[in-house]
Amino acid sequence: MGKDVIVACDFAGAEETFAFLDRFTEEKPFVKIGMELFYAEGPQIVRDIKARGHKIFLDLKLHDIPNTVQKAMRVLSNLDVDIVNLHAAGTGAMMRAALEGLTRPDGTRPLLIAVTQLTSTDEVTMRSELLIGLPMEEVVIRYARSAAQAGLDGVVCSPLEAGKVHEKCGADFLTVTPGVRFADGDAGDQKRVTTPAQAKELGSDYIVVGRPITRAVDPVAAYRRCVKEFVG
């Protein structure tokens, strides 16, 4: 798996998304489709973006009983996406069921990665509301290991955790990392940010970049800057 920049297409509908993608006349960025766009437009948005030649990370973060997740993953495997995800908190049984559901009759399947802890959850909330009394890094690593043991391909994490995840789960275990900003950019609501160049140094396999590209005056130039810094 090569390093790549995934563009978070956090748009409200198809029209806005296609207007954005139309600006890319030379390259076909790897696209992340999240809940907002998927729930607004349904599975057809995935087929349409795929038909335009983009790779797709479908970011729906599934979390339910194993049987339900297995069946949902079976449906998603028919959409021919490249990466899908779920919450590691759903347990090893749920993750194994998800993998089974995702695997097509010919043995192929999209990559499956796990969310460890959402970046919107801090240690205080984790302790007081989720009743997990361990340090954040330990929780992230334990969840990552349980995802690796279940046979998943990687995790979503901060670039700051990528090195530790690789150390504990193997160099081939993917780290897909949001929270990326240009050195001269606005962090917005992201708290722990790195630049694309730092994410590369820290060992991220994929960076997920939304607003620094989608809200740039020149999104194509911003995308190219990301690729240049991260992929080289």
- Does the protein bind ligand C5P through residue 8 (CB under 6 A)? yes
d(CA 101, CA 208): 26
Pairing of strands 30-34, 4-8: parallel
Among 3, 211, 224, 225, binds ligand C5P (CB under 6 A): 211
Among 62, 210, 219, 230, binds ligand C5P (CB under 6 A): 210
- Does the protein bind ligand C5P through residue 119 (CB under 6 A)? yes
Nearer residue to ligand C5P within complex by CB, 29 or 210: 210
| Ordered alpha helix ranges (H), 14-158 | 14-21, 35-41, 44-51, 66-77, 92-102, 123-128, 136-149
Choosing from 3, 50, 55, 61, which is the catalytic residue? 61
Site size toward ligand C5P (CB under 6 A) is 14
Please identify which residue in the block is written with the tokens 């087929």: 47
Residue 209: closest CA among 230, 232, 184, 179? 179
Among 10, 41, 153, 229, binds ligand C5P (CB under 6 A): 10
d(CA 192, CA 179): 7
Among 118, 130, 134, 221, binds ligand C5P (CB under 6 A): 118
Nearer residue to ligand C5P within complex by CB, 70 or 85: 85
Pick the piece of the chain touching ligand C5P (CB under 6 A) from 64-72, 133-141, 195-203, 210-218.
210-218
d(CA 12, CA 46): 14
Minimum CB distance to ligand C5P, residue 108 (Å): 26
Q: Is 200 an active-site residue?
A: no
Q: Is the Cβ–Cβ distance between 92 and 146 less than 8 Å?
A: yes
Length in residues, the chain: 232
Residues that bind ligand C5P (CB under 6 A): 8, 10, 34, 118-119, 156, 178-179, 190, 208-212
